[in-house]
Structure 1
C-alpha cells in the first residue's frame, strides 16, 4: 500500500450547530420533495376536482372518520403535514443563511454558530406558531 496522506475521519471533526444545519438542510429538502410534493399535489388535485373531491380529501386528512385504513392515513397525514411544515421553515431559514454565506458574510465562527442556532431554534418555533395559529383561530 502506498504511503499516502489519509483524509481526516469524522472522529477528528468537532460537531457543531453549523454541521447539524447543513445535514438538516439536505434532509428537509428531501422531505419537501418526497412528502410535501405528493401532499401538495393531492391537495391541488382535490381543489381542482370540485367540492366533493375536496370534501373527500379533507375527510382523509382531518377527520379520520371510521376505523381502519382511513383513520391510519389521517393520523399519518397529520404527522406528515407537521413534519413538512417544519421542513419548509427549516429549509427556508437555512437557505437564507446559505444565501448570506454565499454573499461572503457570516463566516466568522461566532456569527456562523449564532445563525446556525437561530435556524435550529427558529424552525420548530415557527412550526409551532403556524399550527397554533391555524388550529386555535
Structure 2
C-alpha cells in the first residue's frame, strides 16, 4: 500500500504580500507606543531613585532630561502616551462592535494619529508657557 505524498500547503502571507494601509500602521504604532511606555516607566523609576538619592543625583538626572536629547525622548514619550491612549479608546469602541467598517476604521486610525500630535504639542506648549521647559 502506497501513500500519497503530502499536498503542498499555502504559506502564510508575509509583509511582501500585504499592502500597508493606515489601520495596519495604527496597529504597529499601538504596539510600538506600548513598548515605548515601558521605557517611560523606567525613566520614571530612575527619576524616583534620583529624587531619593539626594539633590546631586536629582540635579544630574534633571540635567540629562533637560538636554536636547532628553527633551526629544520626553516628547516622544508624550506622543506615545497620547497615541496609546487614543488607540485604546478606539479599541474600546471596537469592543462594542462599532467602527469596523473600512471607512470608519481608517478614519479612527487617522484620528488617533492627529489627536496624539495635537495633544502632545498642546502639553508641551503649556509647559513652555509655564516655564517648565
TM interval, short-chain normalised:
0.7 to 0.9
Question: How many residues were matched structurally?
Answer: 125
Map of 2:128 onto structure 1: 135
SS at structure 2 position matched to 1:10: coil
Moved over 6 A (4+): none
CA distance in 1, matches of 2:115, 2:45: 27
CA deviation string 1:83-126 (max 9, x = no partner): 11111111111111111112211111111111111011111111
Q: 1:9 to 1:45 in 2, by over 3 A?
A: closer
Map of 2:3 onto structure 1: none
CA distance in 2, matches of 1:5, 1:51: 62
CA distance in 2, matches of 1:23, 1:60: 29
TM-score by length of 2: 0.80
1:95 equivalenced with 2:88 (yes/no): yes
CA distance in 2, matches of 1:75, 1:51: 22
- Flag the structure with larger Rg: 2
Map of 1:60 onto structure 2: 64
Select 2:119's aligned residue among 123, 126, 129: 126
Q: Does structure 1 conserve the Cα–Cα contact (< 8 Å) formed by 2:30 and 2:83? A: yes
TM-score by length of 1: 0.78
SS at structure 2 position matched to 1:93: helix
CA RMSD of aligned residues (A): 2.0
- Decide which moves more: 91-100 or 51-60: 51-60
